[in-house]
Amino acid sequence: MSSITIQEVTTRRDVRAFVRFPWRVYKGDPNWVPPLISEQINYLTPGKNPFFQHAEAALFLARRGGEIVGTVAPFINYHDLKHEEKKVGGFGFFEVLNDYAATEALLDAACAWVKERGMELIRGPYSFTRNDRPGILIEGSDCPPVVLAGHTPPYYKDFLEQYGMEKHGDSYAWRAMRSQIGEELRNVPPEILRVGEAARKASNVTIRKLRNWDEDVAIAGHLFNATLSQYRDFMPMTEEQFRRFADQLRPLVDPDLALFAEIGGEAIGFAVAIPDPNRILIHLNGRLFPFGWLKMWWHAKRIDVVTYKLMGVLPEYRRRGIDALLYLDMLEAVFDKGYRWLDGSLTSEQNLLVNLLAGRLGAERYKHYRVYEKPV
């Protein structure tokens, strides 16, 4: 068997080969969701992705006998480094055939790249940010993921651990079927309903829907940083970063599924769910032309899943049942829209309250992801 060589991507042709490689890994896998090729190329291109304004990355191809057998992208996010206790580099876009030698060569290259830039640790995989497809799939490969969640072969876990990487943290995806919740929420535990209604009365809280995009995105960005800051690995997003994230999702946002909890006119919590675009992308095979637009229109009208992506309550208003109230109002809106099931993802294993509430509401933990790390 020929040896592995590592090549750094330097040309547009190589970038395209890097982006196209996963089609080999997931050939025949009905649960892989191909990304749009054009969007993926732009995402990896400095000047087209604001990530590179405060970060640097390299793209590596592993070849065996001239044939591509794997990819990886080590990176350093200098914005996030300011909030880290250690000098941490990342790696993402890790895809490889069932070939451990290729894995070892790719990770050697990634570790060397971040070490040369003064890093002490490498962590991943992330698709550059911790909100985009973090981790390796540990359990739950029997169905497609929702947007911003990943899908990987089972041997990735074995290969990373064989390389000497150790668990850094786990996260979960939860699923609640319409039949589990019951019409008019009849299967929701009575104590949850009581807590939600008590919160509405005792806290004088009101729940409103999205009403002004620019103003509400600014409010949501503030709440996002303020409500999640106590969790390990949370990295605050700048106003520009959050707005870009929100603007990407804007075509999918339904105002009825973007809720804000207010007391005295001030927003103290929020929750956002979106119709899952992966139910469209899985049918496009990475392309909008020549028939992708027609397929997109057809499948967009048949999305039966909403994914609960953002939720938080300010620390000083927690333990008052406001989180339960947001969940209940969201469930009612999802039912009114006729969706078949609700995804909640991803929740950190450290977010004990949200995981407990999801379980109490009858949701099933249907996917389990793990992020790894290793000193370099």
> How many domains, in total, are found in the chain?
2
Could you tell me if 268 and 330 lie in one domain?
yes
Could you tell me if 94 and 193 lie in one domain?
no
Comparing CA positions, the residue from 57, 181, 182 lying closest to residue 125 is: 57
Could you tell me if 216 and 363 lie in one domain?
yes
Could you tell me if 78 and 180 lie in one domain?
no
- The CATH number of the domain holding residue 43 is 3.40.630.30
Could you tell me if 216 and 361 lie in one domain?
yes
Q: Evaluate whether residue 148 is within a structural domain.
A: no
pLDDT at 232: 63
Could you tell me if 30 and 103 lie in one domain?
yes
Could you tell me if 184 and 330 lie in one domain?
yes
Q: Evaluate whether residue 290 is within a structural domain.
A: yes
Q: Evaluate whether residue 78 is within a structural domain.
A: yes
Q: Evaluate whether residue 142 is within a structural domain.
A: no
Comparing CA positions, the residue from 232, 231, 277 lying closest to residue 251 is: 277
Comparing CA positions, the residue from 218, 276, 271 lying closest to residue 247 is: 218
Determine the Cα–Cα distance for residues 269 and 284; give it in Å rounded to an integer: 36
Range of the domain at 86: 4-132
Q: Evaluate whether residue 156 is within a structural domain.
A: no
User: pLDDT (tens digit, 0 to 9) for every residue of the chain, 376 residues total?
Assistant: 679 999 999 999 999 999 999 999 999 999 999 999 999 999 999 988 888 999 999 999 999 998 999 999 999 999 888 888 889 999 999 999 999 999 999 999 999 999 999 999 999 999 998 888 999 999 999 999 999 999 999 999 999 999 999 999 999 999 988 888 887 788 888 888 888 888 888 778 999 999 999 999 999 999 988 887 766 667 778 888 788 888 878 888 899 999 999 999 999 999 999 999 999 999 999 988 766 667 776 777 789 999 988 888 998 998 888 988 998 899 899 988 889 999 998 889 988 877 887 887 778 999 999 999 999 9
Could you tell me if 221 and 119 lie in one domain?
no
Could you tell me if 11 and 128 lie in one domain?
yes
Q: Evaluate whether residue 80 is within a structural domain.
A: yes
Q: Evaluate whether residue 139 is within a structural domain.
A: no
pLDDT at 233: 66
Q: Evaluate whether residue 215 is within a structural domain.
A: yes
Could you tell me if 106 and 16 lie in one domain?
yes
Comparing CA positions, the residue from 144, 59, 54 lying closest to residue 94 is: 59
Q: What residue ranges in 82-210 does DSSP mark as E strands?
A: 88-96, 121-124, 136-139, 166-177, 205-209
